[in-house]
Amino acid sequence: MNELEPLKSIFKDRIFKIPDYQRGYAWTTRQLRDFWEDLVNLPTDRFHYTGLLSLKKVDKNIWNNWNDERWLIEDRGFKPFHIVDGQQRLTTFVIFIQAISEQLKAIPENKDKKDEEIYLGSFSLKAIKEEYLVVEKPPQFIIKTYKFGYEVDNPSFKFLRHKIFLEPDSGTIQETFYTLNLENAKRFFKENLQNYFDKYGLSEIEALFKKVTQNMMFNVYEISDDFDVFVAFETMNNRGKKLSNLELLKNRLIYLTTLYDEKELKNDERISLREKINDAWKEVYYQLGRNKKNPLNDDDFLVAHWIMYFQYTREKGDDYIRFLLEQKFTPQNIYAKTEVRLSSIQEFEEVREDEDTDQEEVEANGEEEIIVMRSQLSPKEIEDYVNSLKSAAVHWYNTHNPVNNLDLTAQESLWIDRLNRIGIIYFRPLVTVAFLNKDINSDKRVELLKAIERFIFITFRLSRAFSTYRNSEFYRAARQLRNGELTINSIIQRLNDRMNYCFYTPENSEETYFDYTYFQKFIDKKFKSGGGFYYWNGLRYFLYEYEMEKVRQRGSQKIDWKLFVKSEKDKVSVEHIYPQTPTHKIWKDSFKGYKKSQLPFFQGSLGNLLPLSQSINSSLQNDCFEDKKSAKYNDKKEKIRQGYSDGSHSEIEVSGYDVWNSDTILDRGNKLLEFMEQRWDLKFEDDTAKAELLFLDFMLEEEEELRTTEE
């Protein structure tokens, strides 16, 4: 059958299921908005081509296990179908109709009415639900049969029934990457329908319902039994919202389980392997969607797992998915056979069960061996791979969400949070593997996390290495650690060795000092562009770490990292104490005697930059130092800025200075660099080196000249 049909015709005498090889609901607000605008703008006397709907009739041996649907099929002649292509659109239609039904129930005059007493034009709500959503089996009405849904083992199955269709008594419902989209779609339609009802009334809601069920046309195509449904799925779903690589891979692996012959993979093993694939993807999408405010990207996870599991290459582009789909998990690797030698009696007996198995007996060291032909890609390899994906998913989530995470120790949480704040670069696969490897205890993991954080700060934030510096080496280290080929200690040693270029040892000295040359050149460019240390991409992390050190000493955290790094127009969270536009006379007096060309070095020097507990309007930076130390109020006695004396620990420390001038900027800059030495285990050669890095060495030169003159 291949003809245009409206939803009203499509749902007549059909039951739809989304099969296990399908991805979940992937439409986001952009696609929903396009759907809504198409519907609203469609004239009532016009038809709109919606797209292709490809269906595969479900065999009796499958639907016979559908308890809730079987009575409709056997007693009322409904036909069961799997949706091969078009499930995103069909899911959207169904959610839209559910939202309309809830809109009808919410109208005040319909309060306390039964579904058969509520009408939308000539359609009762009961009839609408039975035609498109759910039918209850008489006479007990215990069984609720949904005309559209997922296979029962899909997490979206319960979510759709209980969160979207509002079936009560749900119990625990697992939420995933995809259920977030189902929830978002319903919220989108409910909000838009309510606004539409408020503006135009019930008659226009009826018009929308008629258009969605009668004017939106599908090209319905039923795939014949001999058509390769998995290949069709891969091909057809590359239209519309493109499948993610993780979604494609799941379909491919399920497809491969159908290709093994009975001699290599018995039917019960085939079913078990397919269930393991589904369980793995269920877990992966649960972990990716656990944090509703920040769902994780599925392809990022797949790339990282590929790095952990297979041999990393430095090819560009989608080399990982080409490897997975075009080299590793291919039909050719199942059709291509390789010789396997079996020698144990047990293995011999297993082979003998299939008398026609291709085999050959040979003599080896006085024992008989059986040579059998097996696929180059064994079912066991598929099982091991999907189990690894499943195991890695929770640790991948934990590396992104360490705060208040009961799966992590306090120290693990602290250091992973630091890595996320500084920018974890390319180390997330390695961190994930450190949790996957059961032989690694928490103390060793923390040692590794500390070493990675130090490496990132010194190598990338200070010494300005390219972001890809040594990435291949540490990607390989992730796999080697997973396989037991490397230890935590050897990786830590390697991290330290790769920082050797960041340090130097002067002649006739045993001490090693930090080589700040690269960092100084970087900051020099920032001064030339008018910002100095303020434009350093490690500034907020550094100042926050300094602040948190004070918190550990004194308690009472006063700076929230998320607010601290949040960009607000015309507001600042890091203040120039000596302002960039010093209009007050006191500032001119405080820096009298310095050249105009030297003043920007005081303004942009590290010691002049202060993290605030509350962001302020940038115009308030120009206040004099005494005014900044105390809270400031407007004419209405409303506080318009926090004072240093009751701000962050860093602010309180600065408020202890009597004046703010060149000496205090240098003094505070030295304190910050001393903290840097202690925190990241590095050392500057002397005070001159620190002054050079702070770009205030001209102060020492002037002091030396003055001292020489006096002598």
Residue 330 located in a structural domain: no
Helix/strand/coil (H, E, C) string of 5-64?
A: EEHHHHCCCEEEEECCCCCCCCCCHHHHHHHHHHHHHCCCCCCEEEEEEEEEECCHHHHC
Contact 601, 696 (CB under 8 A): yes
Of 236, 267, 300, which residue constitutes the final position of a domain? 236
Highest mean pLDDT among 307-311, 592-596, 683-687: 683-687
Amino acid found at 579: P
Please give the backbone phi and psi of residue 58, each rounded to the nearest 5 degrees, phi first.
Answer: -85, 130
Judgement on whether residues 446 and 350 belong to the same structural domain of the protein: no
Q: How many CB atoms lie within 10 A of CB 353?
A: 9
Residue 380 located in a structural domain: no
Judgement on whether residues 232 and 249 belong to the same structural domain of the protein: no
pLDDT confidence bin for 346, thresholds 50/70/90: very low
- Angular region, 570: left φ>0, alpha ψ -120 to 50, beta rest: left
Residue 331 located in a structural domain: no
Whole-number Å distance between alpha carbons of 279 and 406: 23
pLDDT value at residue 543: 97
Q: How many CB atoms lie within 10 A of CB 579?
A: 21
Percent of the chain with pLDDT over 90: 69
Q: Which of 340-354, 432-446, 536-550 has the weakest average pLDDT? A: 340-354
Judgement on whether residues 347 and 436 belong to the same structural domain of the protein: no
Q: Which has more pLDDT, 403 or 632?
A: 403
Of 184, 213, 236, which residue constitutes the final position of a domain? 236
Judgement on whether residues 651 and 542 belong to the same structural domain of the protein: yes
Judgement on whether residues 321 and 454 belong to the same structural domain of the protein: yes
Amino acid found at 155: P
Q: Which of 112-116, 150-154, 368-372, 519-523 has the weakest average pLDDT? A: 368-372
Percent of the chain with pLDDT over 70: 91
Q: Find the domain containing 401 and state its range.
A: 245-325+385-502
Q: Which of 100-104, 222-226, 308-312, 360-364 has the weakest average pLDDT? A: 360-364
pLDDT value at residue 236: 56
Q: Which helix (H) or strand (E) holds 145?
A: strand 144-146
Q: Is the pLDDT of residue 463 over 90?
A: yes
pLDDT confidence bin for 228, thresholds 50/70/90: low
Judgement on whether residues 348 and 315 belong to the same structural domain of the protein: no
Cα diameter, the chain:
112
Q: What is the pLDDT of residues 623-678, one digit of tens each?
A: 899 999 988 888 888 888 889 999 999 999 999 999 999 999 999 999 999 999 99
User: Average of pLDDT values for 103-107?
Assistant: 94
Residue 50 located in a structural domain: yes
Whole-number Å distance between alpha carbons of 573 and 553: 23
User: Average of pLDDT values for 197-221?
Assistant: 94
Judgement on whether residues 77 and 174 belong to the same structural domain of the protein: yes
Contact 641, 651 (CB under 8 A): no
Judgement on whether residues 253 and 171 belong to the same structural domain of the protein: no
Q: Which of 85-94, 209-218, 638-647, 700-709 has the weakest average pLDDT? A: 700-709
Q: Is the pLDDT of residue 55 over 70?
A: yes
Residue 592 located in a structural domain: yes
Number of domains in the chain: 4
Q: Is the pLDDT of residue 206 over 80?
A: yes
Residue 89 located in a structural domain: yes
pLDDT value at residue 171: 77
Q: Is the pLDDT of residue 533 over 50?
A: yes
Q: Which has more pLDDT, 618 or 673?
A: 673
Strand 14-18 versus strand 148-150 pairing type: parallel
User: Average of pLDDT values for 411-433?
Assistant: 97
User: Average of pLDDT values for 616-620?
Assistant: 82
Whole-number Å distance between alpha carbons of 515 and 462: 10
pLDDT confidence bin for 371, thresholds 50/70/90: confident
Strand 639-641 versus strand 2-6 pairing type: unpaired
Strand 123-124 versus strand 119-120 pairing type: antiparallel
Residue 507 located in a structural domain: no
Place of tokens 């203040």: 575
Q: Count of H helices and E strands in the chain?
A: 32, 19
Amino acid found at 227: F
Of 206, 236, 266, which residue constitutes the final position of a domain? 236
Judgement on whether residues 589 and 637 belong to the same structural domain of the protein: yes
Judgement on whether residues 216 and 319 belong to the same structural domain of the protein: no
Contact 688, 700 (CB under 8 A): yes
Whole-number Å distance between alpha carbons of 616 and 123: 58
User: Average of pLDDT values for 212-232?
Assistant: 79
Highest mean pLDDT among 2-16, 51-65, 354-368, 486-500: 486-500
Q: Which of 103-117, 233-247, 380-394, 641-655 has the weakest average pLDDT? A: 233-247
What is the overall mean pLDDT for the chain?
89
Judgement on whether residues 258 and 216 belong to the same structural domain of the protein: no
Residue 312 located in a structural domain: yes
pLDDT value at residue 620: 78
Judgement on whether residues 557 and 649 belong to the same structural domain of the protein: yes
pLDDT value at residue 384: 96
Whole-number Å distance between alpha carbons of 127 and 263: 51
pLDDT value at residue 1: 45
